[in-house]
Chains A and B, each alone.
Chain A
Amino acid sequence: MTPWDEAAPGEHEAEDRGWRVVRAAFVTREPAPRKRSRWPFVAAAAAAVVAAAALSPPGHAVLGSIRDAVRGEATTDTLTSLPAPGRLLVAAQAGTWVVQQDGSKRLLSGYADPAWSPQGLYLAAARGNTLVAMEPNGRVHWTLARSGPVGLPAWSYEGFRIAYLAGQALRIVNGDGTGDHVLAPNGVGAGLPAFAWRPGTHQLAYRNAKDELVLVDVDRNRILWRRPTAGVEQLRWSADGRRLLVSGGRSVVLDPAGRTLAALPDGRQLPAAFAPRGHEIAVVTSTQGRSTVVVRSGPGYRSERALFSGPGTFGGIAWSPDGRWLLVDWRTADQWVFIPTRRGRRVVTAAHVGRIFDSGPEHYATLAGWCCP
């Protein structure tokens, strides 16, 4: 027996879990060439998913949403429209897709890591070692070539600055492509390239190579505070710039001075996003192969509302610009799930996301932002 024949850690334990998920998908699939009634499949899907939900937390609170999600009339084969005003950015294998509210889509071929400008008039994206600012129709306004691969551009609140990575360096460039300079030579280091602009300011929070969380005034090149941290995977500011969500490891909410306002419960709380207004946070929690979308709010974020649950992985989450919907990338099911945040509306799903964005089965289509009516 060679080392290649040895089972990998977790291989056997994962097999039965994997088969349960694959079996559920298999019995609910819709064979392409045969014309059959949808109802047996819909009923089977409902049975499988509802049974799964009933057997595990969060249980009954979630069941209503899941029942809605699998009802035939609320399920679409393609992404025909968005349930709320705004436009989506999607990163796929072929490039960046811009999706309008009416469901029409444009491919910006070859561009990766897209990010909306604050008003959605422009987007920044990466193409190899080049940072590009363009209009959503593909008209390029400027390009900036660096020596290493560039990625993860992020605009400041009014679009005057863009932070991005070039190789290991965290760099800043003006919104018109001028004034490019290094902010941190090693903005990745041994940890995450997590960074986020504080709304209303030119202050950037980022995790540095020493495993510290730093808030820096970019224009004055002055560090406002720093604090030790570990395991940070994502940083998000509330829209008013008064709270900073630090996700990964033990997720915490900080005030602008870097003081802890609240610690979220133990366990993975990713991805996460602040509501477009106020201080509510939507997070994805994962346990025992299931993912659940929870909205946390109130003092200490102790109040939680479970909105949706399903087996497998939720790869991304985004609030609609009006705050009335949450879009969840249910990667395991190859579906997008639009979840109403208020009562009275149904969950809407878009199936076959990989096919819609022509990612092929070999790569993911990644949600990159829902912006601007």
Chain B
Amino acid sequence: MEGSGADERAWIRRAQEGSTSAMEALFRHHWGRAYRAAYLVVHDAAAAEDIAQEGFLAAVRNLDRFDRRRPFGPWLHRIVVNRAIDWARARTLRRETGGVPLELVAGDDEPGNPHARTLAEGLAGLSPEHRAVIVLRHLLEYTPGEIAGLLGLPRGTVNSRLRRGLDELRDRLGEDIR
């Protein structure tokens, strides 16, 4: 996802010069997908908020070093998705819900959101690594080659994770989610 091209480059330039309104435009433009990507990997609203927020804070800290000729989205998404994978791996080890199935936790937040719940429940059964490549491919619309670059993986690994993850997701949801 490349944001809005010229607008985005202008926001970054003005944000680098200190414009709060430009920073807000950049934040508002990217918040939804960053949050959603984190949520679909970690399945925890509070954690997704922290991760997305910290992604933007990392962006603020590194704003002056950012090459504004390049799109902002991939850079932000690399941060958010890698942190989400870290968080989900740690949680897999810790299983902090004390025996409550993960899908029930995911569903606690907003009962009136059936699509997202279903998707979240389906994704909850996959490993964090499989969730991440599916989210990058289908939510954020990166190509497998771009995903390989974002996650530092061989392209073949991305392809196999996508294939296996989607097969499993299809089995769980009984439909093709693409």
Residues of A within 8 A of B (CB): 2-4, 6-11, 14-15, 17-19, 21-23, 25-27, 29, 31-33, 151-152, 165, 188-194, 211, 230-233, 248-249, 312-313, 331-334, 352, 354, 361-364
**Would you list the 8 A-B pairs with minimal beta carbon distance, nearest first?**
A9-B109, A361-B58, A10-B45, A9-B110, A362-B82, A8-B39, A231-B98, A190-B99
Point out the residues of chain B lying under 8 angstroms from A312, CB to CB: 50, 53-54
Chain B positions 82-101 with a Cβ under 8 Å from a chain A Cβ: 82-83, 86, 93-99
- Within the complex, the shortest CB–CB distance from B91 to chain A, in Å, comes to 10
Within the assembled complex, what's the spacing in Å between the Cα atoms of A190 and B99? Answer: 5
- Whether B79 is near chain A, meaning CB under 8 Å from some CB there, is yes
- Interface status of B153 (Cβ within 8 A of chain A): no
Q: Do residues A8 and B61 form an inter-chain contact, with CB atoms below 8 A? A: no
- Please tell me which stretch of B4-12, B19-27, B160-168 contacts chain A, meaning at least 4 of its Cβ atoms lie within 8 angstroms of it: B19-27
When A332-B54, A352-B61 are in contact, do A3 and B119 touch as well, CB less than 8 Å? yes
**Cβ–Cβ contact B138 & A4, under 8 A:** yes
- Given A17-B49, A23-B23, A26-B20, 10 more A-B residue pairs with CB atoms under 8 Å apart are A8-B45, A10-B49, A14-B52, A15-B31, A18-B31, A19-B24, A25-B61, A31-B63, A231-B98, A232-B98
Interface of A is mostly: loop
CA distance A242 to B109 in the complex (A): 39
- Nearest to B83 among chain A residues (CB) is A362
Which of A4, A18, A194, A232 is close to B27, meaning CB atoms less than 8 Å apart?
A18
Please determine whether B94 and A192 come into contact, CB atoms closer than 8 angstroms. Answer: yes
Do residues B115 and A15 form an inter-chain contact, with CB atoms below 8 A?
Answer: no
Complex interface: chain B residues within 8 A of A193 (CB): 93-94
B98 — which chain A residues lie within 8 A by C-beta? 190-192, 211, 230-232, 248-249
Q: When chains A and B are docked, how far (Å) is the Cα of A55 from the Cα of B53?
A: 21
- Please name all residues of chain A whose beta carbon is closer than 8 Å to the beta carbon of B16 when the two chains form the complex: 31
Known contacts A190-B98, A312-B50; A8 and B116 CB within 8 A of each other:
yes
Tell me whether A332 and B57 are in contact in the complex, defined as CB-CB below 8 angstroms, given that A27-B20, A192-B96 are known contacts.
Answer: yes
Instruction: Give CA–CA (A107, B106) in the complex, Å.
Output: 38
Is A9 a contact partner of B64 (Cβ separation < 8 A)? no
- Looking at the assembled complex, report how far the CB atom of B149 sits from the nearest CB atom of chain A, in whole angstroms: 13
Select which of B64, B93, B96, B113 is within 8 A of A151 by beta carbon.
B93
